[in-house]
Amino acid sequence: MTQRPVRVAIAGSTGSIGTQTFEVIRAENKRHPGSYVVTGISVGRSGDAALAQAAEFDIPLIVVDDADARSEVAATGRVCVDADPTALIDDADVVINGVVGFAGLLVTTETLRSGKRLGLANKESLIAAGPVVQPLRSTPGAEIVPVDSEHCALHQCLRSSFDAGREVARLILTASGGPFRGRSEADLAEVSVENALQHPTWKMGPKITVDSSTLMNKGLEVIEAHELYGTPYDQIDVVVHPQSVIHSMVEYTDGSTIAQLSMPTMKLPIGYALAYPNRLATPFGTIDWATLGSLDFEAPDRATFRCLDLAYAAGRRGGTAPAWLSAANEAAVEAFLLGNLRWNQIAEVCEAVLERHDGGTPHTVEDVIQADQDARRIAEEVLQR
């Protein structure tokens, strides 16, 4: 009996996660022809790139957010075109959400509401909208498989447990330490944007690279881990691991620690989400153990990299506090990248905004967006001071 191909929808198909998803599918279909078919993609305004993807993979549907780009794609008559970001969900078995920002929230909520598997790379879905997303996870058939190296690692490590609720002692997220590992607060008083963008391990966009340099990225991942796995914050730890080969670990009550290792690549988490609960036949991130060398670990410097503990504080506060922190951080990082804020003031802005948190709890996507707007307004006030 021939197995039916896995039907994949890719939201944000021309971004980093989207293009790497195509690379994974291309490699897997070369090894096992017809294993994956792409039923729909979505883009913001990159119509030409989306048309090229549709031509190569015979994709019948393109969702385009920008009205002008949508008209141009529709005018070709080559594919079905839609404006609704959820239109690509119905015909898919798994939806990869690689959309950046709040534009990805609707894809997350509607995929789960439809009882589908969600390969989630959109951070806002859990950091800012966790209280809205959580109830939808109980929909029959709905499941989140994280497309993120650390949370994918935890997902894999937790599969070794018979009863994770009873057996897990700690989740341990690994952090590269970013470009400023080992530097003191005094050393970092006048670092440049160029300095902050020199990540030693991963090649990422400017915003997330700056977040890595402040350890805010790891702090936000702590919030995501709590939302994904329900583990209390007191049982989620961070350890600096410069080689970025161990992507995270789970320590169990009997003292055993299970770790997931691979060379740094986002294709492994993407492939894991596509094939789950199975695994791809195509290897990504394979380790050459004879040449790997040492694996080092150290505690994070929480005094210098204060954003880590700010994230813990926002997560423990709950409600819209993580959304406020995320918004404040985005505003501060943007100001830093524009040369209007010093690197060590990013944490100060975030702390000032959190101090004014209104204690709200979001019930809808609109509530989350409103919380984001409120926090950005306050962040702008802080920045102007």
Q: How many CA atoms lie within 13 A of 71 on its CB side?
A: 2
How many CB atoms neighbour CB 134 within 10 A? Answer: 14
H/E element holding 365?
A: helix 365-384
Q: What is the pLDDT of residue 203?
A: 67
Q: How many CA atoms lie within 13 A of 359 on its CB side?
A: 0
In whole angstroms, give the CA distance from residue 164 to residue 181: 33
Q: What is the pLDDT of residue 178?
A: 87
User: What are the residues whose beta carbons fall under 8 Å from the beta carbon of 71, sequence distance 6 or more?
Assistant: none
Residue 335: which of 324, 348, 322, 323 has the closest Cα? 348
Q: What residue has token string 């989207």?
A: 18
pLDDT in tens, 287-318: 999 999 999 999 999 999 999 999 999 999 99
**Whether residue 60 has a cis bond before it, omega within 30° of 0:** no
In whole angstroms, give the CA distance from residue 283 to residue 140: 31
Query: What's the mean pLDDT when you consider all of the chain?
Result: 95
Question: Can you tell me whether residue 23 is helix, strand or coil?
Answer: helix
- Number of continuous H segments (helices) and E segments (strands) in the chain: 16, 11
Q: Give helix 149-158 / helix 267-275 axis angle, nearest 10°.
A: 50
Strands 61-64 and 246-252: unpaired
Q: What is the pLDDT of residue 1?
A: 43
Q: What residue has token string 């506060």?
A: 317
Which of the residues in the chain have pLDDT under 50? 1
Q: What is the pLDDT of residue 299?
A: 97
